[in-house]
Chains A and B, each alone.
Chain A
Amino acid sequence: MGEHGTGAAAGEPVPDIPTRIRTGLSAGLKTSIKIIKVSVPLYVAVTLLKGTPVLDLLGKVFAPVMGIFGLPGEAAFAFVAAFLLNLYAAIAVLAPLHLTPFQVTQCGLMMGVAHNLVVEGGVLSTTGARGGVLTLCRLVIACIAGLLLRGLWSLWETAAFRAMALPGLS
């Protein structure tokens, strides 16, 4: 039962604190380098891409899809920024659009699931998981989450509307 502990295994000798610190520092550095080797070249590539018309083009391609999730076409540019860069880049695009609370929530949900896909996909691969498959999963899950929230939000609004309307009727 205890052999699957997250801490020390049953028979494993417990090293003293200085040894553990040394192990931690060297393991931490090795892991950092492993992640840096993957994520930094990807980061540089995506940053260079930002200077080309590729982002604009992708935004135009995705604009018609935005309506499915209750979002305006302009939000597509924020999604491209989120997918390729990060949430801060996306918010910089979203802020001037003056979206409704639902639309901001929708963006937060969908982009929360799928953002920084290139760099994080690389990181996921270094853990031994299938980075490409998981990245595809994130895009699909973001769409499922978006449809789910749209449905839940309209149910919620209908319920809230009824609750407010009832006392007036009686």
Chain B
Amino acid sequence: MDLLLPALLGGLMLSVKLILIIVPLVTLFEVLRYLPVFRRAGNVVEPMMRGVGLTRDAAIPLFTGIFLGIAYGAGIIIRVAQQKGLPARELFLMGLFLATCHSVVEDILIFIVIGGNGPAILVVRLGLAVFLTGLMSRVWKPA
């Protein structure tokens, strides 16, 4: 029983943290998404994304996930998936990319702190993410 209370308290803290990060993030996204800058940024990343089988519809959730991580990125991923109706194939490819390479800033910093080689971690994760997603996008052809 004395374990249940801290667990529930931790769960409450997690909820507060998720709300505090996801709500402002989604609000910011809603306010900014009509700006032409977004479309131009989409034009820039589109050729890169095509290489791993993704369209620019997935750009915002992908980059949110790469920098912020899966839990916080999911706020944007769910929102965009609803708005754009991302197909199952694209959701899977994006999930695969993010599974390998997400939350790169925080994850790598904490291992640099205890003596790890940050660039080596980043290079292998990013390289593997691009390779695997690119490979799967060729195995699973678009319908």
A residues with a Cβ closer than 8 A to B are 2, 4-8, 14, 17, 20-21, 23-25, 27-29, 31-32, 34-36, 39-41, 43-44, 47-48, 51, 87-88, 91, 94-95, 99, 101-102, 104-105, 107-109, 112-113, 115-116, 119-120, 123-124, 126-130, 133-135, 137-138, 141, 144-145, 148-149, 152-153
Contacts and interface: CB of A to CB of B under 8 A. Distances in A.
A109 B120 contact: yes
* Chain B: number of interface residues, binned into ranges: 35 or more
Given A39-B71, A112-B104, 6 more contacts: A2-B39, A7-B34, A28-B27, A105-B117, A108-B121, A130-B95
A105 B7 contact: no
Interface in B7-22: 7-8, 10-12, 14-15, 18-19, 22
A102 B120 CA distance: 10
A138 B99 contact: yes
B91 A128 contact: yes
Contacts of B48: none
A152 B124 contact: yes
Contacts of A149: 120, 124
B30 A128 contact: no
Contacts, number: 208
Given A6-B38, A7-B39, A109-B120, A23 B30 contact: yes
A6 B116 CA distance: 37
Contacts of B36: 7
Given A35-B75, A94-B114, A127 B95 contact: yes
Contacts of A135: 99
A6 B60 contact: yes
Contacts of B117: 101-102, 104-105
A138 B98 CA distance: 10
**Nearest 6 A-B pairs (CB), nearest first?**
A108-B111, A24-B27, A24-B30, A28-B26, A28-B23, A7-B38
Contacts of A145: 100, 124-125, 128
A141 B100 contact: yes
A137 B136 CA distance: 12
A134 B99 contact: yes
A6 B59 contact: yes
Contacts of A36: 14-15, 18-19
B3 interface: yes
Interface in B52-99: 55-57, 59-60, 70-71, 74-75, 77-79, 81, 86, 88, 91-92, 94-96, 99
9 contacts: A17-B31, A20-B34, A21-B30, A24-B27, A28-B27, A107-B116, A129-B88, A129-B94, A148-B124
A5 B55 CA distance: 10
